[in-house]
Amino acid sequence: MKRLKDALLLSEQGYKDLKKAIGACTLTNLSMMLPFCVTVMIFRELLEGITEGSTDTSAIWKLWIFGIVSAVAVFLCAKNDYRKTYIASYKESNKTRERLAEHLCGMPMSFFNTRDLTEITSNMMSDCSAMESMLSSTIPPLIADIISSAVMCVMLAFFDIRLALCVFITIPLAFIIIIASKSKQKKLFRSQNDIKLEASARIQEYLEGVKIIKACGVSGKRHEALDRTLRALKDMSVKTELAIGVFISGASMILQSGIGITIFAGCALLLSGKVELLTLLMFLLMATRIYGPILAVLGQLSTLMHLDVVTDRMRSLMIADEMGGTEKTDGGNIEVIDARFGYNDEEVIHGVSFKVEKESVTALVGPSGSGKSTMSKLIARFWDVNGGCIRFGGKDIKNISPSSLMEHMSFVFQDVTLFNDTIFNNIKMGRESASDEEVYAAAKAAFCDEFVSKLPHGYETVIGENGGTLSGGERQRISIARALLKDAEIIILDEATASLDPENELFVQQAIARLVENKTVIMIAHRLRTVADADNIIVFDGGRIAEQGTHRQLMEKGGIYRRMYELQMNAS
């Protein structure tokens, strides 16, 4: 039972509820024995009637009344277990979903950049749904069946051990088959699951790339990558189902052959007078009924194994490390000391050191892939450095709690994430405690008024999935309004590389100018002219700092910066 709790990642309450649900189901199963007992007792009266020549009808009527009472009992038990199992399972999966979501909140920023978002979401949703149905309609009845079958075994053995053996001899055999096939099944499920995830990712890709797919005329089956995975999924599914079908069918055949055995042996015993007719009848009756629940157990054993795979994935998500650090920070200078970092084994930042003075403008420039973006994300602690350290106000940021660190930083990145909510709420993201006036003021300062006023519901307009209805410049202005509202002392600015139409561009630029006033600015710049007035320009190349200084110093030096600058001047 304890293992069940771990296997299903249940909470304490959930575990308790599950136990209660199992208890309720067992009770229902046992209550079903009441009609059976009444039936057998009526048999007895009827058989006595044959031997004695007349039937005691009043005894039967009494049994009948008892039968009515027991039918009501069955109803009450069934209702009780129905409620218990469903309420318990949905409450529990509610909790699991919340727990997963809560856990995700604690994950480092990098987690969301490196992980496949499809997989994360799939983990949260479909795995929980699978668990939900496990907890409601599979596990409690299943375990209840096991318990009540065992109870019946004992009861029957008490009546007649020989016949009980006949009925039950096939059960271990059937289970041996299923258990022997367990590893094979698990393997099949695993590969099926892998293909499912792959197909899921391919479908996502297909949906995202639909324009190109259309333009290149590779839709539907002609999109080979999707077609291949869907085919593979089809084949794998058939294979899995078949293999499981063979095992289950074999096992259930063996199991049910107990009926034949009971008839053979029972009649032989009856003839030799070693067993009474009523007992034999009872066993025959039993043989027609007992295998049903056990078959259900057999059939769902494989599903139970599937559950392992399902929770495996959730478990690996749950144990992924949350970011550490508890200290608070009051801000200050930023110092990068011999920082080293690699995404996987491959190091991309090779010992970088520099200083960012409070309220200065620092530009990070360099070719793409030179490490400038990575460096800015290290400062924001999307990842922790592998070597060296980054100090913020004198404290190693590894020791600063991520939320305290975030309070001091604002980001304006090029990929703006907007939520399917009103524009007002999207801006309010920046600071929860902001008053409505402050939100409007920030919006105005970021030149959002200009386009919001044209929308049908103004600031109350709901923007669709990731703000699809807004232009790039408008989305950027919303994100700048957010940052303005937040008013953090450090602004990390990934210069919006996306070029906007000239008016939009001017708006965004003016909004940024307001945002960076009197702030510590770290700016990843693509247009070198933009940062020509920066206090310090750090030129990255190949994960190292190639040179740094002011624009004038770097131009005089005649290094990589100067070459880039000139190339860009010529181009425009």
Partner 1 sequence: MEKKQKDMKPKTGLARCLEIASDRQPMVILSAVLSSLAAVASFIPYLAIYGVIKEILSVYPKLDLLDTHRIMLMAWTALGGILLNIVMYFLAILFSHLAAFGTIYELKTAFAKHLTQIPLGYHMNIGSGKLRKIMEDNIDSIEGFIAHQFPDFTASVTAPIVMVVILLAINIKLGLISLAGIVLAFVAEFIGYGSKDMKHNMEQYQNALESMNNASVEFVRGMPVIKAFGRERSSFAKLKKAIADYTDWVLKFSLGWQNCMPAFTAIINNIYLLLIPVGLIIMRSDSGKGFLMDFIFYLLFTPAAAGVMNKIMYVSESFMQVNGSVERMDEVMNIRELSDTRKDIKLSSCDIEFRNVSFSYDEDQQKVLDNVSFKIKEGSLTAVVGRSGSGKSTIANLISRFYDTDSGQVLIGGHDIKDIGVSSLMEQVSFVYQDIFLFRMSIADNISLGKKDASREQIIEAAKLAHCHEFIKDLPDGYDTVIGSSGIHLSGGERQRISIARAILKDAPIVVLDEATAFSDPENEYLIKQSFRSLMKGKTVIMIAHRLGSIKDADNILVMNNGVVAEQGTHDELIGKGGRYKTMWESYEESMQWKVGGAAV
Q: Per CB under 8 A, does 375 bind partner 1?
A: no
Q: Per CB under 8 A, does 133 bind partner 1?
A: no
- Report the chain's C-alpha Rg in angstroms: 35
Minimal CA–CA distance to 527: which of 555, 560, 559, 567? 567
Q: Considering beta carbons, is residue 22 or 490 the nearer one to partner 1? A: 490
Residues in 282-311 that interact with partner 1 by CB under 8 A:
284-285, 287-289, 292
Q: Per CB under 8 A, does 313 bind partner 1?
A: no
Q: Which of 1, 2, 12, 105 binds partner 1 (CB under 8 A)?
A: 105
3-class SS letters over 87-121: HHHHHHHHHHHHHHHHHHHCCCHHHHHHCCHHHHH
Q: Considering beta carbons, is residue 148 or 200 the nearer one to partner 1? A: 200
Q: Considering beta carbons, is residue 47 or 441 the nearer one to partner 1? A: 47
Residues in 449-508 that interact with partner 1 by CB under 8 A:
464-466, 468-469, 471-474, 482, 486, 493, 495, 497-506
Q: Per CB under 8 A, does 430 bind partner 1?
A: yes
Q: Per CB under 8 A, does 79 bind partner 1?
A: yes
Q: Per CB under 8 A, does 121 bind partner 1?
A: yes
Start-to-end C-alpha separation, the chain: 71
Q: Considering beta carbons, is residue 229 or 311 the nearer one to partner 1? A: 229
Contact 548, 536 (CB under 8 A): yes
Q: Considering beta carbons, is residue 395 or 482 the nearer one to partner 1? A: 482
Q: Which of 9, 480, 531, 545 binds partner 1 (CB under 8 A)?
A: 531
> Residue 355 CA to chain centroid, in angstroms?
40
* Selected range binding partner 1 among 150-158, 174-182, 310-318, 430-438, rule: CB under 8 A: 430-438
* Rounded-to-integer distance, Cα 151 and Cα 120, Å: 43
Q: Considering beta carbons, is residue 11 or 337 the nearer one to partner 1? A: 11
Q: Per CB under 8 A, does 316 bind partner 1?
A: no
Q: Per CB under 8 A, does 277 bind partner 1?
A: yes
Q: Per CB under 8 A, does 13 bind partner 1?
A: no
Residues in 85-104 that interact with partner 1 by CB under 8 A:
86-87, 90-91, 93-94, 97-98, 101-102, 104
Strand 544-549 versus strand 536-541 pairing type:
antiparallel
Q: Considering beta carbons, is residue 390 or 560 the nearer one to partner 1? A: 560
Minimal CA–CA distance to 426: which of 446, 407, 409, 456? 446
Q: Per CB under 8 A, does 386 bind partner 1?
A: no
Contact 544, 370 (CB under 8 A): no
* Selected range binding partner 1 among 18-26, 151-159, 310-318, 425-433, rule: CB under 8 A: 425-433
Residues in 340-369 that interact with partner 1 by CB under 8 A:
344, 346, 361, 363, 366-369
Minimum Å distance from CB 393 to partner 1?
18
Residues in 200-219 that interact with partner 1 by CB under 8 A:
200-219
Minimum Å distance from CB 363 to partner 1?
8
Distances 489 to 24, 109, 321, 359, 481 between C-alpha atoms, Å: 59, 20, 29, 8, 15
Q: Per CB under 8 A, does 436 bind partner 1?
A: no
Q: Per CB under 8 A, does 242 bind partner 1?
A: yes
Q: Per CB under 8 A, does 525 bind partner 1?
A: yes
Contact 514, 484 (CB under 8 A): yes
Q: Considering beta carbons, is residue 6 or 234 the nearer one to partner 1? A: 234
Q: What is the DSSP string of 164-219?
A: HHHHHTHHHHHHHHHHHTHHHHHHHHHHHHHHHHHHHHHHHHHHHTHHHHHHTT--
Which helix H or strand E contains 487, and what residues bound it?
none
* Rounded-to-integer distance, Cα 364 and Cα 548, Å: 9
Amino acid occupying residue 509: Q
Distances 480 to 289, 484, 501 between C-alpha atoms, Å: 70, 6, 17
Q: Per CB under 8 A, does 542 bind partner 1?
A: no
Q: Per CB under 8 A, does 407 bind partner 1?
A: yes
Minimum Å distance from CB 304 to partner 1?
18
In this structure, what token pair is assigned to residue 156?
């029957």
In this structure, what token pair is assigned to residue 192?
């099926």
Q: Considering beta carbons, is residue 213 or 439 the nearer one to partner 1? A: 213
Q: Considering beta carbons, is residue 173 or 338 the nearer one to partner 1? A: 173
H-helix segments, 355-446:
372-379, 402-407, 423-428, 436-445
Q: Which of 13, 249, 316, 553 binds partner 1 (CB under 8 A)?
A: 249
Cα angle value 375/376/380 (rounded, 5°): 115
Q: Per CB under 8 A, does 194 bind partner 1?
A: no
Binding-site size, partner 1 (CB under 8 A): 187
In this structure, what token pair is assigned to residue 304?
């139970």
